[in-house]
Amino acid sequence: MADLVLKSATLPDGRVADISITNGVITHIGSSGAAEQTIDCRGRLCVPAAIDVHVHMRDGPQAAKEDWETGTKGAVAGGVAAVVDQPNTVPPMETVENFAARVRRAGEKSFCHYAVNGSVTESADLAGLYRAGALAFGEMFAAPSSYGSALTPEVIRSALAILADQGVLTTVHAEEVKPDEVKPGEVHTLAGHAASRPVSGEAATVDLVNSLAPADAKLHYCHMSGTASIARVMMRQRNTFEVAPHHLFLSWEEHDCADTRFRMNPPLRTKAERMDLWRMFDAIPVIASDHAPHTIAEKAQDFASAPSGVPGVETMLPLLMNEVFLGRISLAAVLEKTVTNPCRIFGLTAPAVAVGSRADLAVYADVPVTISAENLHSKCGWTPYEGMNGLFPETTVVGGTAVWHKGEFVRGRTLWLAGRGKSSETEY
């Protein structure tokens, strides 16, 4: 008897079949027998669940914004079965002790698989964090952002050399801040914020980091916001990059220029720059949410004081799947950018709708709905995508358990996705 059967599901290749799951693994695709739980998926598309390789799950002293439970509930309700947490936490992931405490906390509260990156700072214990199980290192800040200070070229060069020797991936936050180029008063608007952190500065920082990196360094550039800077990333063969949904779906021109909810780093760009990203969509290897929640009260401060960042882990896949529904992009492209490529780049085994695969699956509804913050699960309580359409999953299976099904959550068997440097003696 199977643990779970997804009955009459439409597979990515168009076939309709039952998917039988036992002990967290897909054991049969075809006609099914008895099962502890059977979910009717007739008329529903079943695909591998996504991994979001760029989230800030907050927790600890920042738990008012988000915590591991609320953030990962949002993930699974949005079709995401695994998340990679960024290290600019409070306290930061500079020490093995801080790292171990964060892994333990995630293990206690997470509703999906999880990984934690190690910090890249002047004082970070890079070797110790590698042995402790950091999946990757960074985002490494080449420009200041929320809870992240810019590193000097000397620190960047030294860190990249150490990490290249270990063969580990380094993820990079590439920006250049140019407030002197903004007219007085304009830094208090979305347009001024964009001008103070231009795409040209993003490109220049990519060039700088590339020049500081050893030939064998593996670099992954986070949340690239413009085609000019992406072109600089692609000039180095070992580089990869990601684009965030907000740079694909939002622009500062389409919103009130003083609305701090749309303040983020890198900033929103013009509609023309946003459409340029869509025109090169096929060349984008990874889409990641940069889920960075802040409370409504924090965002209600004056523009100069309001923190940068927006929530997005729950809406990333629904926004993309709505584009598939409309026929603007292919399902294969979405799966490539949110499942296959990110897992390959980060050294993980990608789930698949195939016998023997870990059962991380998302079953999507057949009709999009209007995105509303009241129906989402982030503790921060708002979304920049309010009123837009999204195609949400009715069911998300994580490790063989239907952790999200028609509005209800249960906890299943979640995995810590440790990096390959993890010592066999490391247990949390």
CB 242 within 8 A of CB 220: yes
Chain position carrying tokens 């059967």:
5
Architecture, CATH, for domain 2-45+357-378+391-409: Roll (2.30)
Backbone CA torsion sign across 150, 152, 157, 162: negative
Joined tokens for residue 411: 């906890």
pLDDT band at 321 (very low <50, low <70, confident <90, very high): very high
Cα 341 from Cα 416, distance rounded (Å): 19
pLDDT band at 181 (very low <50, low <70, confident <90, very high): low
Active site residue 290: yes
Query: What average pLDDT score do residues 323-328 get?
Result: 98
CB 124 within 8 A of CB 118: yes
Query: What average pLDDT score do residues 196-219 get?
Result: 96
pLDDT in tens, 338-359: 999 999 999 999 999 999 999 9
How much is the pTM? 0.96
Cα 56 from Cα 141, distance rounded (Å): 14
Cα 114 from Cα 111, distance rounded (Å): 9
pLDDT in tens, 143-174: 766 666 789 999 999 999 999 999 999 999 99
pLDDT in tens, 42-83: 999 999 999 999 999 999 999 999 999 999 999 999 999 999
pLDDT given at position 172? 97
CB 210 within 8 A of CB 236: yes
The fold adopted by the segment(s) 48-345 is TIM Barrel (3.20.20)
Q: What Cα–Cα distance (Å) separates residue 276 from each residue in 202, 206, 280? A: 16, 19, 7
pLDDT in tens, 299-312: 999 998 999 999 99
What stretch(es) of the chain map to CATH 3.20.20.140? Answer: 48-345
Query: Which residue among the candidates 59, 125, 290, 360 is catalytic per the annotation?
Result: 290
**Residues, the chain:** 428
Cα 130 from Cα 417, distance rounded (Å): 13
Cα 170 from Cα 240, distance rounded (Å): 10
Q: Which of 389, 273, 271, 286 is nearest to 339 (CA)?
A: 286
